[in-house]
């Protein structure tokens, strides 16, 4: 059973709070080793990400059974399956622990280390012995969404989509570290430098000493000593006794935890007695007890709402799984804009029939006599991913307005339509996060040639390489979209429903046009030469798309060499063409035989490259080959603050701006990014 500890992704040092070693022995010697670890600490990490309790709970759910790897993947954006050689263990018994007194929570887990990774166990044992647990930590690699909080210059996590990996590293930045050792082999030592609580003597199969950790309240059954004059007891019997004592101690721990949680609970005594009767005198997991207490609180809250219980404070309990009025209204907005609503949660909720009905439902002003952003009298709590800067006021956190609710639904619709738009360009470029609008510089160090032979008693010779840099500056793109008082009075829902869809298409197309512009525009790059040039060996003149010209392009990319003149052996992965060449590209890459061949020869280009059709390309005489960006640098696209999706903001103050002068609420869309060609060797053009 795990217990929360009140002690102080990647970074904060965590000291050992419990330096004991608990041996877990049974009739069959258990293989491997286990360490209780903190995977991630809530709050703000050194990288600027902010994890709340909801994000930590999502991570805890994804972590159960996950692989443990040594070090992060070499490429930060690499989400391919890791090599089996990197696996050092797995995580189990994951648990989320809420922080006390406003402190952030954390996610703990048991890290089981495989016998084959004995080197890692040796390191962990030694750092514990030296009382230097900060030398090793845990770091999570996640796929998630966040929103930028400009006031604190941080990225607040809004959703966790996937856990790519959880790795043992040397420099974590989100609080991941060792808590205490659970069990290990018989020759290990305690973190304080003393000898192990149990040392097995292999020569006569006897235990020379047997001690167990003690609790504040110990039972006499937890102390078993062996006098030298007693008849020797077999190792198997000693292990059985040890197992019984371990179970006794765990039972005491469970009873203590049960009483502690019942004393802290606001449940009435009859309910506490019922819970005590179910859990007293047996082993249980903390999560099992937590579920029972939560269910009891939910029941009392429901009885309060039904009028069966009064005056005990249960009216204020937020029952998990219950749908608030604010959430129902937000769901009606979502359905009005054509978004899917969770039927299991909201039932057959009726969408608002028009924008005017929605406005009247929220504000109570059916005739729009007040300002467009008149506050609701419903006491709605803002929820969902839409959180525009400047909306929340410390003076009024219990109201929601029409602009916010509509904007939240519009933002969901915008992101849904934006993410549904084809983005095949992501396959051959590198997507990264940049901090600001300053010039971004990507230094390209020159390559080394062959290593020199060093004769005996002769000093090594230093090598020097030149370097160059690819630079770019991110730019801000966006527009204002007004919604007038007249549009609401006229109930012009169809026009308003088109706004997020059209913004999504505009954002996606603008970004795609920017990326494909590097191919069609053939810009001057870092070395002062155009991207596609004869000197770069990546341009074929008078080479219309065919099996033969494709093979020539493949050979040219294979022959690309680094600055030291060594061939790189690059392989193209993608064939990029305008729509006019789509069917020709399919024929060249998917025909079993060479198209037009009189001898029915086998087509060597069958499945060799993946076609990408770009409507942003219009020159029917040009086609392009691109390598996998995980194998060689190609084009880098950097998003400011890591905000890959466009963001939607509100200007709805009734005493300023167009809302005051023209009865208009304004939505602002913003998308910030830039990019540059980092290396020409991974790109090829034929024409």
Q: How confident is the model at residue 138 (pLDDT cuts 50, 70, 90)?
A: confident
Beta strands in 66-153 (DSSP E): 67-70, 87-97, 106-113, 137-149
**Percent of the chain at pLDDT above 90?**
22
Query: Could you tell me which of 345, 324, 341, 321 has the C-alpha nearest to residue 332?
Result: 341
Res. 302: pLDDT tops 50? yes
- Candidate ranges 142-151, 398-407, 501-510, 621-630; pick with highest mean pLDDT: 621-630
Output 150 or 59, whichever has higher pLDDT.
Answer: 59
CA-based R_g, the chain, Å: 32
Write out the two tokens for 180. 């205490």
Q: How confident is the model at residue 193 (pLDDT cuts 50, 70, 90)?
A: very low
Per-residue pLDDT at 552: 95
CA distance 511 to 497: 23
Instruction: Lowest mean pLDDT of 319-323, 473-477, 520-524, name the range.
Output: 319-323
Write out the two tokens for 6. 């009140």
Helix intervals (H) in 306-341? 325-336
CA distance 312 to 266: 9
Res. 549: pLDDT tops 60? yes
Coil vs helix vs strand at 242: helix
Query: Could you tell me which of 541, 289, 156, 8 has the C-alpha nearest to residue 532?
Result: 541
**C-beta atoms surrounding 80 within 10 Å:** 9
* Cα angle 325-330-335, degrees, rounded to a multiple of 5: 125
Instruction: Lowest mean pLDDT of 32-36, 135-139, 225-229, 620-624, name the range.
Output: 225-229
Per-residue pLDDT at 17: 35
Instruction: Lowest mean pLDDT of 7-21, 59-73, 549-563, name the range.
Output: 7-21
| Max Cα distance, the chain (Å) | 99
* Cα angle 555-557-561, degrees, rounded to a multiple of 5: 115
Per-residue pLDDT at 221: 35
Burial string for 330-360 (b: 16+ CB within 10 Å, else e) reads bbbbbbbbebebeeeebeebebbebbbbbbb
Per-residue pLDDT at 516: 96
**Cβ-contact 424, 660 below 8 angstroms:** no
Structure-derived torsion over alpha carbons of residues 71, 77, 78, 84, reported in degrees to the nearest 10:
20
Backbone torsions φ then ψ of 65, nearest 5 degrees: 80, 0
C-beta pairs of 27-33 under 8 Å, 24+ apart in sequence: 27/236, 27/239, 27/240, 30/183, 31/115, 32/89, 32/112, 32/113, 32/114, 32/115, 33/112, 33/113, 33/121, 33/124, 33/181, 33/183, 33/184, 33/185
Query: Could you tell me which of 535, 536, 549 has the C-alpha nearest to residue 577?
Result: 549
Per-residue pLDDT at 589: 92
CA distance 212 to 248: 12
Per-residue pLDDT at 74: 53
**Cβ-contact 69, 168 below 8 angstroms:** yes
Res. 328: pLDDT tops 50? yes
Per-residue pLDDT at 401: 64
**Cβ-contact 541, 533 below 8 angstroms:** no
Per the document, the length of the chain is 687
Fold held by 326-438+473-687: phage-related protein like fold (3.90.1690)
- Whole-model pTM? 0.48
The per-residue pLDDT of the chain, averaged, comes to: 75
Output 523 or 220, whichever has higher pLDDT.
Answer: 523
CA distance 376 to 372: 11
Query: End-to-end alpha-carbon separation of the chain, Å?
Result: 68
Q: In what order do the strands lie in the sheet with 683-686?
A: 539-540, 683-686, 623-627, 572-577, 610-613
Q: Write out pLDDT tens, residues 145-175.
A: 778 777 777 888 888 888 878 888 877 766 6
Q: Write out pLDDT tens, residues 367-401.
A: 555 555 444 433 333 333 333 322 222 222 233 46
Per-residue pLDDT at 159: 84
Rounded mean pLDDT, 667-682: 92
The alpha carbon dihedral of 544, 546, 552, 556 has a sign of positive
Per-residue pLDDT at 304: 58
Per-residue pLDDT at 200: 35
- Candidate ranges 42-46, 265-269, 451-455, 622-626; pick with highest mean pLDDT: 622-626
Per-residue pLDDT at 391: 28
CA distance 371 to 476: 31
Q: How confident is the model at residue 619 (pLDDT cuts 50, 70, 90)?
A: very high
| Sequence spans of domains, the chain | 33-197, 265-316, 326-438+473-687
Per-residue pLDDT at 187: 37
**Cβ-contact 108, 39 below 8 angstroms:** yes
Q: Which residues pair with 657 in a beta bridge?
A: none
Per-residue pLDDT at 209: 32
Q: 3-state SS string over 360-412?
A: HHHHCCCCCCCCCCCECCCCCCCCCCCCCCCCCECCECCCCEHHHHHHHHHHH
Per-residue pLDDT at 674: 96
CA distance 56 to 581: 48
């Amino acid at each position: 059973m795990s217990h929360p500890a009140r002690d102080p992704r990647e970074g904060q040092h965590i000291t050992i709070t419990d330096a004991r070693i608990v041996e877990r022995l049974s009739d069959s010697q258990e293989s491997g080793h286990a360490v209780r670890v903190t995977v991630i600490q809530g709050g703000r990490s050194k990288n600027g990400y902010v994890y709340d309790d909801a994000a930590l709970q999502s991570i805890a759910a994804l972590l159960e059974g996950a692989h443990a790897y040594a070090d992060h993947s070499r490429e930060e954006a690499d989400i391919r399956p890791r090599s089996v050689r990197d696996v050092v263990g797995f995580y189990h018994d994951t648990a989320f622990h809420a922080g006390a007194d406003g402190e952030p929570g954390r996610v703990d887990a048991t890290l089981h280390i495989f016998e084959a990774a004995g080197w890692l166990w040796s390191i962990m044992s030694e750092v514990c012995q030296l009382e230097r647990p900060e030398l090793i930590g845990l770091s999570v690699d996640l796929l998630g969404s966040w929103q930028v909080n400009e006031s604190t210059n941080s990225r607040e996590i809004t959703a966790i989509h996937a856990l790519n990996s959880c790795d043992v590293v040397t420099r974590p930045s989100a609080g991941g570290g060792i808590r205490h050792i659970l069990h290990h082999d018989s020759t290990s030592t305690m973190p304080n430098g003393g000898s192990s609580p149990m040392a097995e003597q292999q020569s006569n199969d006897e235990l020379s000493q047997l001690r167990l950790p003690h609790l504040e309240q110990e039972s006499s059954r937890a102390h078993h000593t062996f006098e030298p004059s007693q008849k020797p007891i077999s190792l198997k019997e000693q292990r059985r006794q040890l197992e019984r004592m371990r179970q006794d101690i765990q039972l005491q721990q469970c009873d203590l935890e049960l009483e502690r949680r019942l004393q802290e609970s606001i449940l009435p005594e009859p309910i506490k007695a019922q819970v005590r009767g179910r859990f007293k005198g047996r082993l249980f997991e903390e999560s099992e007890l937590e579920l029972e207490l939560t269910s009891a609180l939910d029941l009392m809250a429901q009885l309060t709402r039904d009028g069966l219980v009064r005056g005990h404070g249960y009216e204020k309990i937020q029952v998990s799984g219950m749908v608030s009025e604010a959430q129902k209204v937000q769901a009606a907005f979502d359905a009005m804009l054509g978004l899917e609503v969770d039927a299991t949660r909201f039932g057959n909720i009726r969408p608002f029939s028009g924008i005017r009905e929605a406005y009247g439902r929220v504000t109570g002003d059916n005739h729009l006599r007040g300002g467009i952003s008149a506050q609701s009298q419903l006491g709605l709590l803002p929820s969902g991913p839409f959180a525009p800067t400047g909306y929340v006021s410390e003076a009024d956190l219990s109201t929601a307005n029409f602009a916010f609710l509509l904007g939240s639904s519009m933002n969901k619709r915008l992101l849904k339509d934006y993410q549904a738009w084809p983005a095949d360009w992501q396959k051959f470029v590198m997507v990264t996060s940049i901090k600001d609008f300053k010039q971004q510089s990507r230094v390209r160090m020159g390559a080394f040639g062959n290593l020199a032979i060093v004769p005996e008693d002769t000093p090594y010779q230093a090598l020097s390489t030149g370097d160059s840099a690819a630079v770019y500056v991110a730019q801000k793109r966006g527009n204002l979209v007004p919604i007038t008082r007249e549009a609401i009075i006229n109930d012009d829902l169809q026009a308003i429903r088109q706004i997020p869809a059209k913004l999504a298409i505009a954002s996606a197309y603008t970004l795609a046009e920017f990326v494909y512009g590097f191919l069609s525009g053939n810009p001057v790059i870092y070395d002062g030469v155009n991207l596609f040039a004869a000197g770069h060996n990546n341009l074929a003149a008078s080479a219309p798309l065919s099996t033969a010209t494709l093979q020539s392009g493949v050979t040219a990319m294979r022959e690309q060499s680094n600055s030291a003149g060594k061939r790189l052996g690059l392989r193209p992965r993608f064939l990029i063409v305008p729509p006019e060449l789509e069917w020709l590209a399919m024929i060249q890459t998917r025909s079993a035989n060479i198209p037009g061949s009189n001898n029915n020869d086998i087509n060597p280009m069958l499945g060799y490259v993946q076609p990408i059709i770009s409507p942003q390309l219009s020159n029917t005489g040009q086609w392009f080959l691109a390598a996998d960006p995980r194998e060689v640098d190609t084009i880098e696209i950097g998003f400011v603050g890591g905000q890959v999706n466009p963001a939607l903001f509100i200007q709805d103050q009734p005493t300023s701006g167009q809302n005051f002068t023209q009865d208009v609420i304004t939505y602002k869309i913003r998308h910030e990014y830039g990019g540059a060609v980092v290396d020409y060797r991974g790109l090829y053009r034929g024409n």
